[in-house]
Amino acid sequence: MKYKINYYFILSIFLILKKYHFLYLLRYMRAVILNKYNKEGKVEIKQIPIPTLGINDVLVKIKYAGVNPLDNMIIREEVKFIVPYDLPLIMGNEFSGVIEKIGNNVTEFKIGDKVYGRMPLKKIGAFAEYISIDKEAIAIFPDYLSFKEAACIPLTALTAMQAFDLMEAKSGERIFISGGTGSFGAMAIPIGKSLGFKISTSGSGSNRDRVMKLGADEFFDYRNQDYSEILHDVDYVLDTVGDKELEKEFKILKNGGKLISLKGMPNPEFADRIGLGCFKKLILKCFGRGNDNMAEKKNQRYYFLFVESNGKQLAQVSRIFEENKIECSIDEIFDLNNVNQALQKVLKGGSKGKTLLKIDGTDDENNVFEY
Ligand X SMILES: NC(=O)c1ccc[n+]([C@@H]2O[C@H](COP(=O)([O-])OP(=O)(O)OC[C@H]3O[C@@H](n4cnc5c(N)ncnc54)[C@H](OP(=O)(O)O)[C@@H]3O)[C@@H](O)[C@H]2O)c1
By CB under 6 A, residue 306 contacts ligand X: yes
Name the amino acid, one letter, at 15.
Answer: L
Number of residues that bind ligand X (CB under 6 A): 27
Nearer to ligand X, 271 or 307 (CB): 307
By CB under 6 A, residue 159 contacts ligand X: yes
For the bound state, the minimum distance from the C-beta of residue 100 to ligand X, rounded and expressed in Å, comes to 29
| Stretch in the footprint of ligand X (CB under 6 A) among 135-143, 181-189, 274-282, 361-369 | 181-189
In angstroms, how far is the first alpha carbon of the chain from the final one?
30
* Residue ranges in 320-349 that form contacts with ligand X under rule CB under 6 A: 349
Q: Which residues of 319-332 are buried (b: 16+ CB within 10 A; e: fewer)?
A: ebbeeeebebbbbe
CA distance 295 to 255: 9
Angle at 164 between CA 159 and CA 169, to 5 degrees: 170
* Residue ranges in 226-285 that form contacts with ligand X under rule CB under 6 A: 240-241, 245, 262-263
Name the amino acid, one letter, at 293.
Answer: N
The partner residues of 304 in beta bridges, in order of sequence, read 261
Give residue number: closest CB to ligand X: 182
By CB under 6 A, residue 309 contacts ligand X: no
By CB under 6 A, residue 200 contacts ligand X: no
Q: Which of 225, 350, 363, 367 is close enough to bind ligand X by CB under 6 A?
A: 350
| Stretch in the footprint of ligand X (CB under 6 A) among 10-18, 47-55, 66-74, 164-172 | 66-74
> Do the bridges between strand 89-90 and strand 28-34 make them parallel or antiparallel, or are there none, so unpaired?
antiparallel
CA distance 350 to 353: 9
Residue 34 and residue 74 in contact, taking contact as beta carbons nearer than 8 Å: yes
CA distance 182 to 354: 7
Residue 198's closest CA among 216, 178, 214, 220? 216
Nearer to ligand X, 97 or 203 (CB): 203
Q: Which of 109, 184, 197, 250 is close enough to bind ligand X by CB under 6 A?
A: 184
* Residue ranges in 161-180 that form contacts with ligand X under rule CB under 6 A: 178-179
For the bound state, the minimum distance from the C-beta of residue 274 to ligand X, rounded and expressed in Å, comes to 11
For the bound state, the minimum distance from the C-beta of residue 22 to ligand X, rounded and expressed in Å, comes to 36
For the bound state, the minimum distance from the C-beta of residue 14 to ligand X, rounded and expressed in Å, comes to 45
* Residue ranges in 67-86 that form contacts with ligand X under rule CB under 6 A: 68-70
Burial of 12 (0-12, 13-18, 19+ CB in 10 A): exposed
For the bound state, the minimum distance from the C-beta of residue 267 to ligand X, rounded and expressed in Å, comes to 13
For the bound state, the minimum distance from the C-beta of residue 367 to ligand X, rounded and expressed in Å, comes to 29
CA distance 234 to 269: 22
Nearer to ligand X, 169 or 246 (CB): 246
Angle at 75 between CA 74 and CA 77, to 5 degrees: 65
Residue 181 and residue 352 in contact, taking contact as beta carbons nearer than 8 Å: yes
Q: Which residues of 40-66 are buried (b: 16+ CB within 10 A; e: fewer)?
A: ebebeeeebebbebbeebbbbbbbbbb
CA distance 152 to 58: 21
For the bound state, the minimum distance from the C-beta of residue 69 to ligand X, rounded and expressed in Å, comes to 3
For the bound state, the minimum distance from the C-beta of residue 98 to ligand X, rounded and expressed in Å, comes to 25
For the bound state, the minimum distance from the C-beta of residue 157 to ligand X, rounded and expressed in Å, comes to 10
Q: Residue 231 carries which DSSP code?
A: -
| Stretch in the footprint of ligand X (CB under 6 A) among 27-35, 62-70, 135-143, 293-301 | 62-70
Residue 187's closest CA among 149, 222, 221, 218? 149
Q: Which of 222, 236, 250, 334 is close enough to bind ligand X by CB under 6 A?
A: 222
Q: Which of 311, 339, 351, 356 is close enough to bind ligand X by CB under 6 A?
A: 351
By CB under 6 A, residue 181 contacts ligand X: yes
Residues that bind ligand X (CB under 6 A): 68-70, 156, 159, 178-179, 181-185, 202-204, 222, 240-241, 245, 262-263, 305-307, 349-351
